[in-house]
Amino acid sequence: MAKSSRAEAAAKAAQMRAEAARKDRQRKQIIAAVVAVVVVIAAVVIGAVVANRPQSAPAAGGSGSTSASADAALAKLVALPQATLDASPAPNPNQAPAKLEGGTALTQDGKPKVLYVGAEYCPFCAMERWPLIGALSKFGSFSGLKPTTSSSDDVYADTPTWTFAGSSYTSDVLAFEAVETADREKKPLEPLEGENAAVFQKFNPEGGIPWITYGGTHATNGATVDAALFEGKTYDQIIAGIEDPTSDIGKSVNPAMTMMTAQLCQLTGGQPSNVCTSQAVMSASVLLKR
């Protein structure tokens, strides 16, 4: 009897020791888990704080060397040889402007009008201005285009480009009007109003930009170039890509430029003929939506 009592007491003592050891182990595990949770939270908070530190604005046309690069790139863009576009791949159907059902002719000073609606912060507008400037330069000339970059805190940050705000376009065969609705900091810049606002709201109720209408009968919504190709690129790199029809940029931007040119040729009735009868434009015109 005494032996079984001693055995029971020993078993109970062992059980209590095991339970105490388990509780001690559990306490240590809880402490380790709390430390792990705190480390994760701290990492995310510190990461978010560092990411949101104010950064010095990059050369939005401010630094001398970037401004020189922008000017050099623009000079090459507006004078891009037709042979370069003829040697580039053909556009794909997605790059062709959509027909606006119920669209009526948009004119200005007796000429068919191209309306661009965008914003300076918008990275896709930044990209789309490259082929648009190149295409429009075949029908007239720009002045006052200022270098800038898209927003620093959005996708494809700081995409090099030019702003249409404050610029002018002259042509014998086309009218071009651009409305940059906001600046790089997303503050209101130029008002979208009157006939421009009416056509934009009618055919683009979701308000996507860049939105370009060709004569009020056709339009593109968004960038028609491959956005990823512009990431991290400089003016020099982008124009070098455009000048090389075999480069990735050349294979995307040049067909977009050709498609725009073909659409503009439809507006101008094939003028100027040297542009509108070029090999690339003639090929692209089969994609025009009639």
Applying CB under 8 A, the residues found at the interface with another protein are 22, 26, 29-30, 33, 36-37, 40, 43-44, 47-48, 51, 117, 119, 121-125, 127, 152-157, 181-182, 186, 192, 206-211, 221-223, 227-228
Among candidates 179, 259, 191, which has minimal Cα distance to 223?
259
Tell the smallest beta-carbon distance from residue 32 to another protein (Å): 9
Q: Which two tokens stand for residue 289?
A: 């939506």
Tell the smallest beta-carbon distance from residue 192 to another protein (Å): 8
How far apart (Å, rounded) are the C-alpha atoms in residues 248 and 241? 7
Of the pair 158, 265, the CB lying nearest another protein is at 158
Q: Is 246 exposed, middle or buried (0-12, 13-18, 19+ CB in 10 A)?
A: exposed
Tell the smallest beta-carbon distance from residue 152 to another protein (Å): 8
Of the pair 32, 75, the CB lying nearest another protein is at 32
Of the pair 16, 30, the CB lying nearest another protein is at 30
Tell the smallest beta-carbon distance from residue 149 to another protein (Å): 13
How far, in whole angstroms, is CA 189 from its chain's centroid? Answer: 19
Q: How many angstroms separate the most distant Cα atoms in the chain?
A: 119
Of the pair 139, 214, the CB lying nearest another protein is at 214
CA angle 226, 203, 229 (to 5 degrees): 5
Residues 6+ apart with CB under 8 A from 91: 255, 256, 258, 259, 262, 284, 287
How far apart (Å, rounded) are the C-alpha atoms in residues 75 and 239? 10
Tell the smallest beta-carbon distance from residue 167 to another protein (Å): 20
Tell the smallest beta-carbon distance from residue 102 to another protein (Å): 21
Beta bridge partners of 169: 142
Of the pair 124, 176, the CB lying nearest another protein is at 124
Tell the smallest beta-carbon distance from residue 207 to another protein (Å): 4
Tell the smallest beta-carbon distance from residue 37 to another protein (Å): 6
Sign of CA dihedral 96, 97, 101, 106: negative
Sign of CA dihedral 139, 132, 71, 187: positive
Q: Which two tokens stand for residue 7?
A: 């055995």
Of the pair 80, 117, the CB lying nearest another protein is at 117
Of the pair 153, 172, the CB lying nearest another protein is at 153
Of the pair 155, 282, the CB lying nearest another protein is at 155
H or E element that contains 243: helix 235-243
* Rg of the chain taking only CA atoms, in angstroms: 30
